């Protein structure tokens, strides 16, 4: 079957010397949606600058952004935990809309602008490595559907800022028929006027999904190597050279960077442990610890690691090899399954898949996918069925044992893919399991659901900074659980302080968590920020459980961008709520040891 896609290709050539000098400054009307005080945008100034609007706010309510000044590097805005602070309804709207449409904090994303420094998360030994000078050139392909403009452009600029020009053949943006009108108009103009002409924008006339989207992107590419990225990434220092090197040595090597974590709630960039890709019999991707055997050797922690599967979004592959190996299965729709399909295909058909610890790329990890498929189908099931029937031989029974309802489900025509497997002379799935993923046998059909890469709490106990009472200055009362402090979802209120009561004792730790009586964490829903704070199980991934103590005795919630206040200081009920930080008495708290 041949599928025809009608495309509109927008390649713009009117990039002049003149606008090159403004290249990195957002142009008028194109600032990230709903600009934070205009002056706050990234500029090429060096050293701290004085920002009148900021100063004004500072006088009124204390420095609204903590100690956050322009960083000396390229005039980028320096990240601070209070970056998501809400000043007015417009900020609130950007934040709430962002969660709704993109499932991450768009207010912070917009304020960060299109450039920022990220911590160099590589092992120190990576810095001493040198790479060949004659590496192949790369076409970076970024598919997106309804992406937040600031996240997309930060992805693009991180590539432009941190890739040597001679290695970056082009960037191809594939707009998968996004429905956000602003995104279309603004991006169009931005690409045309602000980006080098080697950044191209391709538009799908109808929604294709990320799998066919990437195939379309690849069909426009002319670089030697294809590099795929999601549309909400930030590449780190020296990210590309370590990926290109093993491909230059053997064009049938496919490589992935280590995927660092960008928090959806705070946009904090943090390091991921080096793990490798696996899967369970439900055909969900999961991360596995790297077997010790893989970690031995002279290169130690910096050596490439063989990975049974890839996460899917971030990898590099020789362009000709991508075509030889059968690109992707064009019968797969929207989202899901293609990562296991290409992983099995790489290993079973004579290639190999490596994770490169010295290459690091951050990705915004969201708690939910903010979009569905056009017809509401479960595309993950459809795509998984196709891959099971083409690649898994008798082991597809393991999948059906978990998903019996899919046994009779129609999965379309797979003749082309079955032929491809024959033509490429690929090995059996049993060979793959025995040689590439021997651990799988042990876990069997009852393997658990996938876990995201969040840093393993078991290994890391946050240090306690302070232990004491949360005292409300205006009412002379203390913050306590309304019910029992072990009750999940329970509200907090202010009550008479009792200095002998363990149930009034809070711990504040280096992860900015507030834990009552060593039991539960103070938490505010990121999506329903009008809900009052509650006690919840500590999840250790920041966001809704991150609090800072700031100027004017405020108690600030990092992901909601607001301060905690007592609703009615005269009421004996003692209810608290989140509100715009204004430095007023009801918002003043003391942590007392």
Helix axes 379-391, 338-348, angle to 10 degrees: 20
- Which one of 132-140, 239-247, 309-317, 560-568 is the stretch in contact with ligand LR7 (CB under 6 A)? 309-317
Residue from 36, 40, 79, 145 touching ligand LR7 (CB under 6 A): that is 145
**CB of 417 vs ligand LR7, minimal distance in Å:** 17
For the CA atoms of 153, 156, 159, 161, the dihedral, rounded to the nearest 10 degrees, stands at: -50
> Applying CB under 6 A, does 230 fall inside the site for ligand LR7?
yes
**CB of 258 vs ligand LR7, minimal distance in Å:** 11
- Number of residues engaging ligand LR7 in binding (CB under 6 A): 23
- Nearer of residues 151 and 521 to ligand LR7, judged by Cβ: 151
- Residue pair 112/98 in contact (Cβ under 8 Å)? The answer is no
Task: Read off the tokens for 451.
Answer: 């876990």
CB atoms within 10 A of CB 29: 9
Beta bridge partners of 514: 508
- Which one of 81-89, 138-146, 323-331, 426-434 is the stretch in contact with ligand LR7 (CB under 6 A)? 138-146
What is the H or E stretch that residue 414 is in? none
**CB of 217 vs ligand LR7, minimal distance in Å:** 9
- Nearer of residues 334 and 447 to ligand LR7, judged by Cβ: 334
**CB of 398 vs ligand LR7, minimal distance in Å:** 20
Q: For the segment 367-426, give every residue that binds ligand LR7 (CB under 6 A).
A: 369
Task: Read off the tokens for 198.
Answer: 């080697």
- Which one of 64-72, 81-89, 205-213, 241-249 is the stretch in contact with ligand LR7 (CB under 6 A)? 205-213
Of 146, 128, 63, 439, nearest to 279 by C-alpha is 439
With residues binned 3-state (H G I as helix, E B as strand, rest as coil), the percentages for the chain, rounded to 5, are 30, 20, 45
Helix (H, G, I), strand (E, B), or coil: what is residue 175?
strand
- Which one of 4-12, 142-150, 163-171, 181-189 is the stretch in contact with ligand LR7 (CB under 6 A)? 142-150
Of 405, 354, 367, 379, nearest to 525 by C-alpha is 367
**CB of 101 vs Mn ion, minimal distance in Å:** 15
Task: Read off the tokens for 379.
Answer: 């595309």
- Which one of 67-75, 190-198, 306-314, 413-421 is the stretch in contact with ligand LR7 (CB under 6 A)? 306-314
- Nearer of residues 77 and 160 to ligand LR7, judged by Cβ: 160
- Residue pair 508/519 in contact (Cβ under 8 Å)? The answer is no
- Residue pair 493/575 in contact (Cβ under 8 Å)? The answer is yes
**Among the residues of 453-580, which ranges form H helices?**
none
Residue from 338, 341, 511, 513 touching ligand LR7 (CB under 6 A): that is 338
**Residues whose CB is less than 8 angstroms from the CB of residue 483 and which lie 6 or more positions away in sequence, other chains included:** 490, 491
- Nearer of residues 210 and 385 to ligand LR7, judged by Cβ: 210
Task: Round to whole Å and give the CA distance between 187 and 152.
Answer: 9
Residue 260 interacting partner from ligand LR7, Mn ion, none (CB closer than 5 to 8 Å by kind): none
- Nearer of residues 209 and 282 to ligand LR7, judged by Cβ: 209
**CB of 230 vs ligand LR7, minimal distance in Å:** 4
Residue 335 interacting partner from Mn ion, ligand LR7, none (CB closer than 5 to 8 Å by kind): ligand LR7
Residue 209 interacting partner from Mn ion, ligand LR7, none (CB closer than 5 to 8 Å by kind): ligand LR7
String marking each residue 259-298 x if it binds ligand LR7 according to CB under 6 A: x---------------------------------------
CB atoms within 10 A of CB 383: 27
Residue 421 interacting partner from ligand LR7, Mn ion, none (CB closer than 5 to 8 Å by kind): none
String marking each residue 205-244 x if it binds Mn ion according to CB under 5 A: -------------------------x--------------
> Applying CB under 6 A, does 176 fall inside the site for ligand LR7?
yes
> Applying CB under 6 A, does 329 fall inside the site for ligand LR7?
no
Burial class (CB in 10 A: 0-12, 13-18, 19+), 207: middle
Residue 288 interacting partner from ligand LR7, Mn ion, none (CB closer than 5 to 8 Å by kind): none
Residue from 105, 194, 231, 241 touching ligand LR7 (CB under 6 A): that is 231
Residue from 86, 140, 311, 515 touching ligand LR7 (CB under 6 A): that is 311
Residue with tokens 């290169």: 299
Task: Round to whole Å and give the CA distance between 112 and 438.
Answer: 44
**CB of 116 vs ligand LR7, minimal distance in Å:** 19
Residue nearest to ligand LR7 according to CB distances in the complex: 312
How far does CA 297 lie from the centroid of its chain?
Answer: 32
- Nearer of residues 75 and 213 to ligand LR7, judged by Cβ: 213
> Applying CB under 6 A, does 335 fall inside the site for ligand LR7?
yes
> Applying CB under 6 A, does 210 fall inside the site for ligand LR7?
yes
Of 349, 347, 336, 329, nearest to 414 by C-alpha is 329
- Residue pair 546/81 in contact (Cβ under 8 Å)? The answer is yes
Residue 189 phi, psi (nearest 5):
-70, -40
Task: Round to whole Å and give the CA distance between 214 and 329.
Answer: 11
Task: Round to whole Å and give the CA distance between 275 and 41.
Answer: 36
105-117: b (≥16 Cβ within 10 Å) or e: bbbbbbbbbbbbb
Task: Read off the tokens for 12.
Answer: 């713009």
CB atoms within 10 A of CB 302: 20
- Nearer of residues 188 and 501 to ligand LR7, judged by Cβ: 188
Task: Round to whole Å and give the CA distance between 263 and 314.
Answer: 17
> Applying CB under 6 A, does 257 fall inside the site for ligand LR7?
no
Residues of this chain that interact with ligand LR7 (CB under 6 A) are: 143-145, 147, 176, 207, 209-210, 213, 230-231, 259, 311-314, 334-336, 338-339, 363, 369
Residues of this chain that interact with Mn ion (CB under 5 A) are: 230
């Amino acid at each position: 079957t041949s599928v025809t896609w009608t495309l509109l290709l927008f390649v713009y050539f009117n990039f002049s010397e003149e606008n090159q000098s403004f290249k990195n400054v957002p142009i008028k009307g194109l600032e990230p949606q709903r600009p934070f005080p205009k002056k706050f945008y990234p500029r090429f100034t060096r050293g701290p600058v004085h920002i009148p609007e900021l100063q004004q706010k500072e006088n009124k309510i204390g420095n609204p952004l903590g100690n956050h000044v322009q960083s000396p590097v390229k005039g980028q805005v320096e990240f601070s935990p209070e970056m998501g602070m809400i000043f007015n309804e417009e900020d609130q709207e950007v934040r709430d809309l962002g969660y709704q449409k993109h499932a991450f904090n768009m207010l912070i994303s917009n304020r960060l602008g299109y450039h920022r420094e990220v911590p160099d998360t590589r092992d120190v030994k990576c810095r001493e490595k040198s790479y060949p000078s004659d590496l192949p050139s790369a076409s970076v392909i970024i598919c997106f559907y309804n992406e937040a403009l600031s996240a997309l452009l930060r992805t693009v600029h991180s590539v432009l800022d941190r890739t040597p020009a001679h290695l970056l053949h082009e960037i191809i943006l594939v707009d998968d028929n996004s429905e956000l009108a602003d995104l279309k108009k603004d991006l169009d103009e931005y690409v045309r006027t602000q980006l080098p002409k080697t950044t191209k924008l391709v538009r799908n006339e109808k929604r294709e999904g990320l799998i066919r989207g990437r195939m379309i992107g690849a069909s426009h590419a002319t670089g030697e190597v294809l590099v795929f990225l999601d549309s909400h990434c930030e590449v780190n220092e020296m990210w590309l050279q370590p990926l290109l090197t093993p491909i230059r040595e053997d064009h049938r090597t496919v490589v992935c960077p280590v995927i660092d974590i960008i928090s959806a709630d705070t946009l904090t960039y943090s390091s991921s442990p080096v793990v490798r890709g696996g899967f369970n019999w439900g055909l969900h991707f999961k991360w596995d610890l790297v077997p010790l055997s893989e970690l031995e050797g002279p290169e130690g922690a910096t050596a490439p690691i063989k990975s049974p599967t890839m996460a899917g979004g971030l990898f590099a592959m020789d362009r000709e090899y991508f075509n030889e190996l059968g690109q992707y299965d064009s019968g797969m729709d929207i989202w899901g399954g293609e990562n296991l399909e290409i992983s099995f295909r790489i290993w079973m058909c004579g290639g190999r898949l490596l994770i490169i610890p010295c290459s690091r790329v951050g990705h915004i990890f969201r708690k939910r996918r903010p979009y569905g498929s056009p017809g509401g189908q479960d595309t993950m099931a459809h795509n998984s069925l196709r891959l099971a029937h083409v690649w898994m031989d008798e082991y597809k029974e393991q999948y059906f044992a978990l998903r019996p309802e899919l046994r009779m489900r129609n999965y379309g025509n797979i003749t082309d893919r079955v032929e491809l497997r024959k033509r490429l002379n690929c090995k059996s799935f049993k060979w793959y399991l025995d040689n590439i993923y021997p651990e799988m046998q042990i876990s069997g059909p009852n393997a658990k659901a996938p876990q995201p890469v969040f840093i393993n709490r078991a290994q890391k106990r946050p240090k306690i900074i302070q232990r004491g009472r949360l005292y409300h200055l205006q009412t002379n009362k203390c913050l306590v659980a309304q019910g029992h402090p072990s009750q999940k979802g329970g509200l907090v209120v202010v009550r008479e302080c009792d200095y002998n009561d363990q149930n009034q004792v809070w711990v504040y730790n280096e992860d900015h968590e507030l834990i009552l009586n060593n039991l539960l964490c103070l938490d505010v829903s990121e999506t329903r920020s009008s809900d009052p704070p509650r006690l919840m199980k500590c999840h250790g991934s920041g966001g809704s459980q991150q609090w800072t103590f700031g100027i004017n005795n405020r108690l600030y919630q990092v992901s909601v961008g607001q301060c905690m206040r007592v609703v009615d200081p005269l009421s004996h009920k003692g209810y608290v709520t989140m509100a715009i930080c204004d430095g007023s008495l009801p918002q003043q708290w003391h942590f007392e040891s």
